[in-house]
Structure 1
Amino acid sequence: MKLSGNTILITGGNGGIGLALTKAFTKAENTVIICGRNEASLQFAKSGNDNIITKQCDLTQQAERDELVQWILQNYPSFNVIINNAGIFEETDLLSDSFDLDKINKQLVIDLQVPIELCLRFLPHLRKQPHAAIVNITSGLVYAPEAGAPFYGVAKAGVHAFTQTARYQLRDTKLKVFEVLPPLVDTGGVSKQLDIEKLGGAMDADETADEILKGLSHDTEEIRIGDIKWLYAASRIAPEFTNKKVNEKAEKARQSDNH
């Protein structure tokens, strides 16, 4: 994938990995469109940079997704790269006597439905571009899901499968399909849910973005970053053992945090 001269949509480009990618791509001379719910954080991300275009949008709302798609197609004919980055990490205790189904549904919409829907709705346009790409940000947890966040695992596994099937179907087109599988990254969303120190540290968001761009420049279809390279290998050799160790580590950190 060429790293300059693109018009890129990054969902959730106003925070975490998305913001780091926004900065990295604008530095590489791209026009970057970022969407998010919080107007203040969008403007902070823009910070006077004319190569960053902001669009306030609540991706959980169908009407706002419809408006986003129409707005981009009407105003940015050069749009050629989508990076599905927006996501929610939520823990759910399956031993509970009740569940917040609205909250679970919202997570599945953001983490699973939205990236697939946006890919499908932009596909006809992207296939016509001379240089185009789909980049789906999933998680290394697709190889060993974290039991404490079952619906995050379900959603990311679904996007992982969709990305693989899309890549195969589109193999004879100019449209490239990438998946990014980051490790635990030090972002605001993660910090709210997990004690990073107790989980063994997290990768810097800017460093993660650099690794993503490096993988894209080499047309690496599945960009495994940091410890995820080892997790992938271990999950192929001893999947049950790997899954157990991942969850024991997460559970130990969670129990320690509760005391």
Structure 2
Amino acid sequence: MELKNKKIVVTGGTSGIGLAFAKKLAAIGNQIIIGSRSKEKITEVVKYNKNISGHQVDVSNQESVERFYKQAIAEFKNIDIVINSAGIMRHYNLLDERVTPKKLQAEIQTNLVGTINIDQVFLPILRKQTESMIINVSSGLANLSSAAHPMYSASKAGVHMFTDALREQLHFAGEDHVHIVELVPPLVAETNLEKDVNSQNTPVNIKWSDLINEAIKGIEENSIRVDAGMAKEMRKMVQPILIKTKGN
């Protein structure tokens, strides 16, 4: 899919991967709407970046997502690409009885439910386009879980499975013009995710600029999955285990 003159929605667009995507895609000739919980951060990004506008959204809240969709359609009329990069990552000890269910569920609500909410609300307009795309950001931890980050691993495994299922449903419906891409990074340097975790417990990361370049290459080739950086190696490690398990 050619990335030029496209109308693109990016969640989590005020920091990290989302912001990097927004800046890069705007710079190469696309119109971008970013979504974020922080109105102040949106204002800051829009102020210093041409071709980027933004609206507040809490992806875990269905009403907020529907409002965000209406704002995006009012501004763009049509949408070509949706990038789900909103996400949070926390380090929880499941044996610690002080950790509340609400805290544990927060990553599921933002990372998994948020992705589902955005995809479900934007899918009808994307299906009407001649060619369109959804990019869901999962993680290398979707395939090789981290004991230090149990809920993040679980949420991203859910994103991986949901993305596969959505792609298959569109295929069986004869709607392959809606490309469904899974972007699989390890941790990305300079993001809010990395700031929230102990570096000794994290997989080797990748600079966001390298990730975005790999992602754009995959998008332009209509890849169904883009494994970036160490995520490639993590998948190679897991694949033999999966094959052996299925064989049993």
- Give me the TM-score of the superposition, normalised by structure 2: 0.90
Question: How far did 1:216 drift?
Answer: 0.7
How many angstroms apart in 1 are the aligned matches of 2:95 and 2:200?
A: 26
Residue in 1 aligned with 2:246?
none
Residue in 1 aligned with 2:49?
49
Which aligned pairs between 1:3-152 and structure 2 lie closer than 5 A?
Answer: 3-152=3-152
How many angstroms apart in 1 are the aligned matches of 2:94 and 2:105?
A: 15
Does 1:235 pair with 2:238?
yes
Structure 1 counterpart SS, 2:55 = strand
Letter in 1 for 2:234: L
Structure 2 counterpart SS, 1:170 = helix
Letter in 1 for 2:214: E
Structure 1 counterpart SS, 2:189 = coil
Question: How far did 1:118 drift?
Answer: 1.3
Letter in 2 for 1:125: I
Letter in 1 for 2:147: A
How many angstroms apart in 2 are the aligned matches of 1:108 and 1:200?
A: 21
How many angstroms apart in 1 are the aligned matches of 2:218 and 2:202?
A: 26
How many angstroms apart in 1 are the aligned matches of 2:81 and 2:208?
A: 20
Identity of aligned residues (%): 28
How many angstroms apart in 1 are the aligned matches of 2:61 and 2:37?
A: 11
Question: How far did 1:197 drift?
Answer: 7.0
How many angstroms apart in 1 are the aligned matches of 2:103 and 2:160?
A: 22
1:9-64 deviation digits (Å, cap 9, x = unpaired) = 10011100111111110111000100112222222322343410111223333332
How many angstroms apart in 1 are the aligned matches of 2:146 and 2:240?
A: 18
How many angstroms apart in 1 are the aligned matches of 2:182 and 2:74?
A: 27
**Size of the alignment, in residue pairs?**
241
- Give me the TM-score of the superposition, normalised by structure 1: 0.86
Residue in 1 aligned with 2:157?
157
Report if aligned partners of 2:65, 2:117 keep a CA contact under 8 Å in 1.
Answer: no
Structure 1 counterpart SS, 2:95 = coil
Report if aligned partners of 1:33, 1:54 keep a CA contact under 8 Å in 2.
Answer: yes
Q: Which runs of 5+ in 1 are unaligned?
A: 241-259
Report if aligned partners of 1:144, 1:239 keep a CA contact under 8 Å in 2.
Answer: no
